[in-house]
């Protein structure tokens, strides 16, 4: 994924960043309606039920490859690969998308349903739909640069701004009723073309809904918060 232009440097006041270790307000518009809690399936993003229901889930939008062009590869992991693509909408307009496929060719039904229900909370990409033959998950393209690249290449102030945006995204994700379970700087995208920066949480294959059991949910949330602590530790280390 190509980097976008960044804004100029600004002064950094170290004392202000400790405020972002605590939850922040999440706009009500980003909080989808509550759905039943999930079961305890294994952490398999392909075969497990990411968000199980007592109600019949909405059908996933089915896309035709006739309306979808798959372009350059922009990411690859243990389970699959992602490509930049172009989707032709029903009204004839085109939009940039990300096309994700598993190495083994299996459908990404569970992750697609997760994206459908998360509905953009925490800056997660919106679901466009799924395609078959070959199986693919088609989601919104979120422009920006990975947080990992920012930690390695950007200045201190920009990294703190990215951290602030990521804390907001994670807390909105939690407020919406979900925990990520696979957060790391490589699957967090920061859009630095706007001020304040915005953060997008990607790779929701392991995402689950909170159960309503306080101790269990706190333990689940702590995994995501530990990632935030590691990010801040990396940024603080840039002082030295």
Write out the two tokens for 191. 């859009």
Asked whether residue 85 falls in the same domain as residue 96, the answer is yes
Tell me whether residue 39 is in a domain.
no
Instruction: Give residue 27's pLDDT band: very low, low, confident or very high (50, 70, 90).
Output: very low
Domain edge (last residue) among 117, 140, 163: 140
Helix/strand/coil for 127: strand
For the cut 90, the answer to whether the pLDDT of residue 5 exceeds it is no
Q: Report d(CA 218, CA 214) in Å as an integer.
A: 6
Biggest CA-to-CA distance, the chain: 54
Domain edge (last residue) among 140, 159, 191: 140
Q: Report d(CA 76, CA 81) in Å as an integer.
A: 4
Domain with 96 in it: 62-140
Q: Report d(CA 123, CA 24) in Å as an integer.
A: 15
Residues 6+ away with beta carbon under 8 Å from 59: none
Asked whether residue 155 falls in the same domain as residue 189, the answer is yes
Instruction: Give residue 55's pLDDT band: very low, low, confident or very high (50, 70, 90).
Output: low
Asked whether residue 68 falls in the same domain as residue 132, the answer is yes
Instruction: Give residue 70's pLDDT band: very low, low, confident or very high (50, 70, 90).
Output: very high
pLDDT at 16: 30
For the cut 80, the answer to whether the pLDDT of residue 240 exceeds it is no
Asked whether residue 165 falls in the same domain as residue 232, the answer is yes
Tell me whether residue 57 is in a domain.
no
CATH number of the structural domain spanning residue 77? 3.30.200.20
Instruction: Give residue 81's pLDDT band: very low, low, confident or very high (50, 70, 90).
Output: very high
pLDDT at 162: 97
Asked whether residue 228 falls in the same domain as residue 148, the answer is yes
For the cut 60, the answer to whether the pLDDT of residue 47 exceeds it is no
pLDDT at 97: 98
Q: Report d(CA 168, CA 183) in Å as an integer.
A: 14
C-alpha separations of 222 from 29, 45, 134, 200 in Å:
25, 20, 37, 19
**β-sheet bridge partners, residue 187:** none
Number of domains in the chain: 2
For the segment 147-173, what is each residue's pLDDT rounded down to a tens digit? 999 999 999 999 999 999 999 999 999
Instruction: Give residue 2's pLDDT band: very low, low, confident or very high (50, 70, 90).
Output: very low
Predicted model pTM:
0.75
pLDDT at 201: 97
Left if phi > 0, otherwise alpha if psi is -120 to 50, otherwise beta: which for 41?
A: beta
For the cut 90, the answer to whether the pLDDT of residue 229 exceeds it is yes
Average pLDDT of the segment spanning 105-122: 95
Asked whether residue 70 falls in the same domain as residue 132, the answer is yes
Query: How big is the CA angle at 157 (ends 152 and 161), to the nearest 5 degrees?
Result: 90
For the cut 70, the answer to whether the pLDDT of residue 40 exceeds it is no
Instruction: Give residue 78's pLDDT band: very low, low, confident or very high (50, 70, 90).
Output: confident
Asked whether residue 95 falls in the same domain as residue 111, the answer is yes
Tell me whether residue 125 is in a domain.
yes
Of 189, 153, 193, 152, which Cα lies nearest the Cα of 169?
Answer: 189
pLDDT at 22: 37
For the cut 80, the answer to whether the pLDDT of residue 20 exceeds it is no
Domain edge (last residue) among 125, 140, 155: 140
Asked whether residue 129 falls in the same domain as residue 206, the answer is no
CB 98 within 8 A of CB 82: yes
Average pLDDT of the segment spanning 85-105: 96
Which helix (H) or strand (E) covers residue 201, if one does? Answer: strand 198-201
Asked whether residue 92 falls in the same domain as residue 148, the answer is no
Helices marked H in 95-213 — which ranges? 109-118, 147-153, 156-175
Asked whether residue 174 falls in the same domain as residue 121, the answer is no
pLDDT at 168: 96
Tell me whether residue 176 is in a domain.
yes
Helix/strand/coil for 198: strand
Q: Report d(CA 151, CA 208) in Å as an integer.
A: 28
Asked whether residue 76 falls in the same domain as residue 111, the answer is yes
Classify residue 224 as exposed, middle or buried by CB count within 10 Å of its CB (0-12, 13-18, 19+): buried
For the cut 60, the answer to whether the pLDDT of residue 217 exceeds it is yes
Helix/strand/coil for 79: coil
Tell me whether residue 47 is in a domain.
no
Q: Report d(CA 136, CA 235) in Å as an integer.
A: 36
CATH number of the structural domain spanning residue 167? 1.10.510.10
For the cut 60, the answer to whether the pLDDT of residue 43 exceeds it is no
Write out the two tokens for 31. 């909080």
For the cut 70, the answer to whether the pLDDT of residue 86 exceeds it is yes
């Amino acid at each position: 994924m190509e980097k976008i232009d960044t804004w100029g440097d600004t002064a950094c006041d170290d004392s202000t960043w400790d405020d972002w270790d605590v939850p922040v307000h999440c706009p009500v518009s980003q909080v989808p309606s509550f759905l039943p809690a999930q079961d305890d399936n294994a952490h398999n993003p392909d075969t497990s039920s990411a968000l199980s229901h007592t109600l019949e889930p909405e059908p996933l939008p089915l896309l035709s490859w006739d309306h979808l062009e798959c372009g350059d590869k922009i990411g690859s992991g243990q389970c699959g690969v992602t490509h930049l693509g172009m989707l032709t909408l029903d009204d004839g307009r085109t939009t940039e998308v990300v096309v994700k496929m598993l190495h083994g060719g299996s459908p990404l039904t569970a992750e697609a349903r997760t994206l459908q229900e998360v509905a953009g909370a925490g800056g997660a990409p919106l679901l466009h739909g799924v395609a078959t033959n070959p199986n693919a998950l088609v989601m919104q393209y979120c422009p920006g640069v990975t947080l990992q690249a920012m930690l390695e290449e950007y200045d201190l102030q920009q990294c703190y701004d990215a951290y602030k945006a990521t804390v907001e995204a994670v807390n909105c994700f939690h407020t919406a009723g979900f925990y990520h379970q696979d957060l790391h700087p490589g699957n967090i995208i920061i859009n630095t073309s706007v001020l304040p920066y915005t953060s997008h949480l990607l790779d929701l294959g392991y995402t689950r809904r909170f159960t309503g059991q306080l101790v269990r949910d706190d333990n689940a949330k702590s995994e995501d918060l530990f990632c935030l602590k590691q990010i801040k530790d990396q940024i603080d280390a840039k002082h030295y």
